[in-house]
């Protein structure tokens, strides 16, 4: 799910909120590094935030719902199709330039989406737990807490598929002797990682997949904390029982 960011009178966007907060503690040079890093880590999030600024509240809400279903459909399609191509070694079928472009696309787009979900939920948690007196933002949206939780579930499934595709394109030797044979193995490992069950069937031996598994756990936890600790808590409070919009 992409939580809808707050809309003040100036219609501040999510990335502007990050830059404003970082500028309180960092020098201009470091603040520039923060801004550049966010754009590099998740171009899709930056583009989505710019699109949201152009929309009204109602259009923004519809766009959030539509993008969630669209991204989940894309994750299912690309995980299945690219997973099949990777099982058959595209280097033996396509020229080297197309093969390199294929691997870059298969890694960059899912990784950008994973970071987009992480940034969106961290921002939403900050906005929902900070009072206006402390610099927070209050707003009203057309998304109920019940709808936010259901969209969070879609994002949780999408995260599992995106990370599975990322793991599957990495060199097999980075996972030791028991590497993935099919994309289903990667989906299984991703699901065990994001739910922190970790049965030990597959164990990354290289630092890159090790860092990716930590990244996946942190992203999954941020989603769960926001969805259940914040959304469910606020949605079940007496003041919100009969409300269809957020604070």
Q: Summarize pLDDT for 144-200 with one digit per residue, the tens.
A: 778 888 888 999 999 999 999 999 988 888 887 778 888 999 999 999 999 888 777
Whole-number pLDDT of residue 197:
82
CA separation, residue 192 to residues 69, 105, 164, 185, 201 (Å): 23, 25, 11, 11, 10
Residue 87 burial (CB count, 10 A): 13
58-63 — which CB contacts under 8 Å span 24+ positions? 58/142, 60/4, 60/7, 61/4, 61/141, 61/142, 61/143
In the prediction, which pLDDT does 11 show? 42
- pLDDT of 243 > 80? The answer is no
Q: How confident is the model at residue 111 (pLDDT cuts 50, 70, 90)?
A: very high
Q: Are 45 and 68 in contact (CB under 8 A)?
A: no
Q: Provide the whole-model pTM.
A: 0.78
Asked if 33 and 180 count as a contact pair (C-beta separation under 8 A), the reply is: no
Domain ranges, ordered by start, for the chain: 70-237
- Asked if 137 contacts 8 with a C-beta cutoff of 8 angstroms, the reply is yes
The rounded mean pLDDT for the chain is 76
Percent of residues, the chain, with pLDDT higher than 70: 69
Residue with the two structure tokens 């969209």: 151
């Amino acid at each position: 799910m992409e939580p809808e960011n707050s809309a003040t009178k100036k219609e501040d966007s999510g990335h502007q909120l990050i830059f404003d907060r970082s500028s309180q503690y960092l020098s201009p040079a470091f603040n520039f590094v923060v801004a550049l890093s966010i754009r590099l880590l998740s171009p899709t999030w930056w583009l989505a935030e710019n699109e949201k600024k152009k929309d009204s509240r109602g259009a923004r809400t519809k766009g959030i719902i539509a993008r969630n279903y669209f991204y989940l459909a894309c994750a299912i399609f690309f995980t299945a199709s690219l997973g099949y191509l990777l099982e058959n070694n595209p280097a033996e079928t396509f020229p080297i330039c197309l093969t390199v472009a294929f691997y870059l696309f298969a890694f960059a787009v899912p990784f950008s989406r994973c970071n987009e979900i992480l940034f969106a939920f961290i921002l939403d948690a900050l906005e929902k737990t900070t009072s206006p007196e402390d610099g927070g933002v209050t707003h009203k949206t057309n998304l109920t807490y019940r709808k936010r939780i259901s969209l969070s579930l879609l994002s949780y499934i999408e995260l599992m598929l995106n990370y599975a595709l990322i793991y599957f394109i990495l060199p097999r030797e980075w996972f030791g002797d028991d590497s993935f044979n099919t994309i289903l193995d990667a989906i299984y490992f991703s699901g065990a990682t994001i739910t922190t069950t970790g049965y030990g069937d597959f164990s990354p031996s290289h630092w890159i997949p090790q860092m990716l598994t930590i990244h996946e756990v942190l992203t999954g936890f941020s989603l769960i904390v926001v969805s259940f600790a914040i959304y469910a808590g606020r949605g079940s409070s007496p003041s919100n029982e009969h409300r269809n919009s957020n604070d």
